[in-house]
Structures are given as structure tokens and as C-alpha cells.
Structure 1
């Protein structure tokens, strides 16, 4: 259902009463085929925008550096993987070890 909203045009732009936004914290404005659409920003877009802003800020402050080249660790060979599986399969399951440690007060 469409609701008419009384908005004012000012030298700075369009002024829409806050009450008309129905508690929307953030809106996006789209100009499309002779009309302007104002709608709430979907939560996923907000998260993406915040994530992008954080990444940009970290890069600008020199706290985030893109790694170029290969990984610091080479991939594990099938033989190494089999050896690790053999070593890790000895003894009790980890869940049992955790339960015992809880009982002992760890």
C-alpha cells in the first residue's frame, strides 16, 4: 500500500520527515525511469559496507597488507597427511580427553 509523504525541497536537497522513514536507520536512494525510490538498506548490504570501510581504513593505516605470492607453508603431501592421520589417531578421542580434564578441574 502506497502512502503519500509530504517532503520539502530545500537548497541542500530533499527533506523527508524522520517519522516517514519508519525507524529505518539507513536508506538508499535510486533514480530509475523518471522516479526516485527511497528504501531501507538491507542488513547484508550494511554489513558489506561496514566490512569494506574497515578494510579500507586498515589498509590506509598500514595495518592490513595484501600478501603476494605463494603461501608461507607448502601444501601437505598425501604421505605427510597419512603420517599425521596415523599419529593423531592414537589414544583416546579428543572429546573423551576434554571430559576427563573437566572432571579433573582443568
Structure 2
């Protein structure tokens, strides 16, 4: 399926870069340098977006995450039990572990 071309991006590059890109496009089997550049730019854009949104997919997720960091809830019984179990497993006292959280 052909993609409708209806926009343009102009880029200025050195002759050396142009020759390198043209050569890579040729040996890569692309019909044109434009096809090569668009394909690679699109693939890289998708990779960056996927990387940056892998954990926190939506803006709501990001808001919840930051809010939890800035205003953490009080520990519930399950967390307190986990802390006790961890301190016993590592031979650390609970007081040793309290120093990890900085006071504001």
C-alpha cells in the first residue's frame, strides 16, 4: 500500500554525510535516499516512544507515580510485615532500614 506523501522536511547536511547516507541506502536495497531516511527515522521514532512509554504508558500513570513519590501513603500491615521479614532475612534491624528514607 503506497503512503500518500503530503508533507516535507528539509535538512542540510555535509557532502560527506550525504554520500554516506546515499551509499547506505543503495546497499540497503532502498529505492531512494528519501525512502531510506523516512524508514530509519520512523523506526527510530517508534523505538524511542516505546522505550519512554514502556513502564508509564499514559499521562495518568505518570501523575499517579509522581504523586506516590511526593506523597507516599502510610505503610499498611502487609508492608510492615514485609519489612520485618526483610530485616530478619538480611540480619538488619528495622532501625537500620529507617535511615534510607530522607526526612523532608
TM range (shorter): under 0.3
Instruction: Select the structure that is richer in helix.
Output: 2
Q: Which has the higher contact order (CA 8 A, sep 6+)?
A: 1
- Superposition TM-score, scaled by structure 2 size: 0.22
> Which protein shows a greater Rg?
1
TM-score (norm 1): 0.21
User: Which is richer in strand?
Assistant: 1
